[in-house]
Amino acid sequence: MLRRLYDWTLSLAGRPSAPYALAAVSFAESSFFPVPPDVMLVPMMLARPDKAWTYALICTISSVVGGVLGYMIGLLLYDSVGAWLFQFYGLTQGAEAFRHSYAEYGHWIILLKGLTPIPYKLVTITSGFAGYSLGWFILLSIVTRGARFFMVGLLMSKFGPAIKGLIDRHFNLVAAICVIVFIGGFVAFRYLV
C-alpha cells in the first residue's frame, strides 16, 4: 500500500495540480491532519528536483498559514476542538505540562519542535491555548518550518538520484523507518513535555 502511495505521488509531481495538493496537505498537517507533508514532499522533489525549492517554499508558506489555524483552534476552541484533538492523540496530560512551559521557553519550544518529527499541529494548538504571542509564533514558525522544508530541498537537490535509488531498492526498510520516526514524534511529545 505504501509503495503504491509513493509511486502515485511520484506520478502526481508532473501534474499541474501537484503544488495545490502539496499546499493542502502541508496546511492541514499544521492544524489537524495526522500525516506530515513529507509523504508528498520527498517523492515530489525526487520526481522534479528542478522544483525542490519551489516545493519547499509552498510547504513553508502553507504550513505557517495552517499553523495560524492551529493557533486559533488552541486560542478560541481549545475547550472543544483543541481538547478533542489532544484527547484523540492521547496527549491531554502532556499538553497541560507543555502549556505551562511556554511561560519561560515558548520561543525555544516552537523553534526546536518545529524541526523534529513531533507533529507540528500539537505545537500550534498549544501555542494558541497557552496565549503565546501570535506575532512571535508566526515569525518563529517561518524560521523553523522554512529550515525544515528547505533542508529537505537541499538534500533532495544534492542527493536526489542517490536517495531515489536507495528508496527504490529498499522501500520496505525506508517505509518502516519513516513510520517509526512518525510514531516516535507522538511518543516524544507525550513523554518529553
pLDDT for position 183: 66
Q: Hey, where are the domains in the chain?
A: 2-27+38-192
pLDDT at position 32, please? 81
* 120-138 pLDDT per residue, tens: 888 898 889 888 999 999 9
- Note the pLDDT of residue 153: 92
> Interior CA angle at 74 toward 148 and 99, to 5°?
80
DSSP SS3 for 91: coil
Angle of helix 134-169 relative to helix 92-113, nearest 10 degrees?
80
- Predicted confidence (pLDDT) per residue in 137-160, tens digit: 999 999 999 999 999 999 888 887
Residues 6+ apart with CB under 8 A from 144: 110, 111, 112, 113, 114, 115
Helices 38-47, 2-12: inter-axial angle, 10-degree rounding? 50
How far apart CA 52 and CA 152 sit, in angstroms, is: 8
What phi and psi values does residue 132 have, to the nearest 5 degrees?
-65, 150
pLDDT at 26: 92
pLDDT of residue 15: 80
Gyration radius from the chain CA atoms? 17
> What single letter denotes the amino acid at residue 91?
L
**Which stretches in the chain have pLDDT values below 70?**
1-3, 5-10, 82, 86, 89-92, 94-96, 98-99, 103, 117, 175, 178-179, 181-193
pLDDT the model gives residue 181: 67
Q: What are phi and psi of 11, to 5 degrees?
A: -70, -30
Rounded Cα gap, residues 80 and 118, in angstroms: 22
- Residue 73, C-beta contacts closer than 8 angstroms, at least 6 positions apart: 31, 32, 81, 82, 85, 124, 125, 128
